[in-house]
Amino acid sequence: MPTLTITTEQIIDLIQQLPLKEKRIILLELVKETETKRQERLDYGESQLRRLCNERGINWNTLSDEEREDFINDLIHEDRPCIQ
C-alpha cells in the first residue's frame, strides 16, 4: 500500500475545508490524546512524590492536603528543610 506524504499546512488546509461537525470530531480526538498524556504526567509526578516521601520515611497516603503542599514546597525551596 503506497504511503501519502503531506505537510502540516496541507493537513490544516484539509481540516479547514471540513464541515463544523467534522472539525469538532477531530478536535475531540485531539483533546482525548492530550488528556491521556496529561494523566500520564500526573501519575508520573505522583509516583515521584511518593518515592521521595518514602526515601524520607514519610507516608504520602497519610499526609493531609496541607502537609502534601508543605512537602512539595519544601522540595522546591532548597533554603528550607523538607519535613521529616
Q: For residues 33 and 53, what is the distance between their CA atoms, to the nearest angstrom? A: 30
Can you tell me which residue has the cell 512524590? 49
pLDDT band at 1 (very low <50, low <70, confident <90, very high): confident
Q: For residues 67 and 83, what is the distance between their CA atoms, to the nearest angstrom? A: 9
Can you tell me which residue has the cell 497516603? 61
pLDDT digits (tens, 9 = 90+) for 5-43: 999 999 999 999 999 999 999 999 999 888 889 999 999
Give me the pLDDT at residue 35, please.
Answer: 87
